[in-house]
Homo-oligomer: A and B are copies of this chain.
């Protein structure tokens, strides 16, 4: 593991810190991951995405799709036949990011109980600290 990290570190170039953090922020935002997951099943049009991603607003769907499009994870295809419409689809790169995402998901599922236990313990200790303060 430490070996792997050293190996990866040797590949990091000057501007990569910002890039890495940018990607981490993207997958940490509210809708990007969901959009990629939904689009990975099959391409959709704007309104279909609105329905397929419960709770998202038109604004955030637009913003999210533009960001993903900018990075090349999603592409927007314009059709004219039979009637004009827009279709969104994941690119190969967009599809490939599900791999690291799955690794994160797996880690969370593996440590689900441990995290929740720690939170419960931490929160209750904070409450008692507050109690003794009053």
Contact = CB atoms under 8 A, between A and B. Distances in A.
Interface in A87-134: 93, 96-100, 102-109, 111-112, 114-119, 122-123
B70 A19 contact: no
A70 to B, nearest CB: 4
Interface stretch (A27-35, A45-53, A78-86): A27-35
A55 to B, nearest CB: 11
- Copies of this chain per assembly: 2
Interface band, chain A? 35 or more
A81 B115 CA distance: 31
B20 A115 contact: no
A26 B116 CA distance: 15
Interface of A: 1, 4-5, 8, 11-13, 16, 19-21, 23-30, 33, 69-72, 93, 96-100, 102-109, 111-112, 114-119, 122-123
